[in-house]
Amino acid sequence: MTSMRTTPRPRASSASSAARRLVPVAAGLVLLTATVLAGTRAAPRVGTAVPAGPAQAQERNDREVPDDPRLREDHVDPFDDGHPAITGLRPALRAALQDAARDADAQGVDMWVTSGRRSLAYQQELLDEAVRRYGSLDEALRFVASPDTSRHVTGDAVDIGPTEADDWMIRHGADHGLCQTYANELWHFELATEPGGTCPAPRADAAG
Ligand SMILES: [Zn+2]
């Protein structure tokens, strides 16, 4: 995607001189129940199609969130109800996300939020960055929505990580109404069907 930078990194010397301070927090044992689910991979639901109508009938969320540096954090606990990226989600989406994260955890899949609610300012930053990266606004809009159309700005979308959790969510998210809505964004989920329903086919990209 992005071209490799050819310019050398400007400063690489000071980092080593600075003594790295390791806070001696006893890192709690991470009990990863590595449940191997080799034989239990459920096929994606390809049943009777549910019209995408009901999920679209959502009222606009006019309540903007104030800009907050924490909205830019890319590893947020889905259950962190004190975090603006989580509390700013539409309540039904937040509940579905947490239910899904609980299910995933029960199957040994760790899940976190790489981007939840966004402020207008943050969305504009992301778009500006994409314009620089892709060279034009038209191209950038295939990957990053504008502040006035972003589903993150209204609290209707959540980005999930890591890849294993994306994969899990693509296969099981519909149990909670959560669907991948853009084909080129494996990590982006919205409420787009009824719980247990069938997800509509994802659109090609955010511009489509
Ligand atoms: Zn997204």
Tell whether the model's pLDDT for residue 18 goes beyond 70. Answer: no
Neighbours of 46 (CB within 10 A): 7
Radius of gyration, CA atoms only, the chain = 19
* Residue 59 confidence class, pLDDT cut points 50, 70, 90: very low
Question: Mean pLDDT over residues 150-161, rounded?
Answer: 97
Instruction: Tell how far the Cα of 143 is from the centroid of ligand 1, in angstroms.
Output: 9
Instruction: Tell how far the Cα of 157 is from the centroid of ligand 1, in angstroms.
Output: 6
The predicted-structure confidence for 119-133, as pLDDT tens digits, reads as follows 999 999 999 999 999
Give the DSSP letter string of 156-200.
-EEEEESHHHHHHHHHHGGGGTEEE-BTT-TTEEEE-S-TTS-PP
Percent of the chain exceeding pLDDT 90 equals 67
Instruction: Tell how far the Cα of 3 is from the centroid of ligand 1, in angstroms.
Output: 23
Instruction: Tell how far the Cα of 168 is from the centroid of ligand 1, in angstroms.
Output: 16
The rounded distance, in Å, linking the Cα atoms of 168 and 109 is: 8
Instruction: Tell how far the Cα of 202 is from the centroid of ligand 1, in angstroms.
Output: 13
Give me the sign of the Cα torsion angle 96, 91, 58, 140. Answer: negative
Q: What is the pLDDT of residue 61?
A: 52
Q: Which two tokens stand for residue 193?
A: 């069907």
Question: Mean pLDDT over residues 148-155, rounded?
Answer: 96
Instruction: Considering only residues 29 and 66, tell me which one the structure prediction assigns the higher pLDDT.
Output: 66
Instruction: Tell how far the Cα of 193 is from the centroid of ligand 1, in angstroms.
Output: 17
The predicted-structure confidence for 156-194, as pLDDT tens digits, reads as follows 999 999 999 999 999 999 999 999 999 999 999 999 999
Tell whether the model's pLDDT for residue 97 goes beyond 50. Answer: yes
Instruction: Tell how far the Cα of 158 is from the centroid of ligand 1, in angstroms.
Output: 6
Domain edges within the chain: 77-117+156-208
Tell whether the model's pLDDT for residue 23 goes beyond 80. Answer: no
Beta-strand ranges (E) seen in 59-132 are 112-115
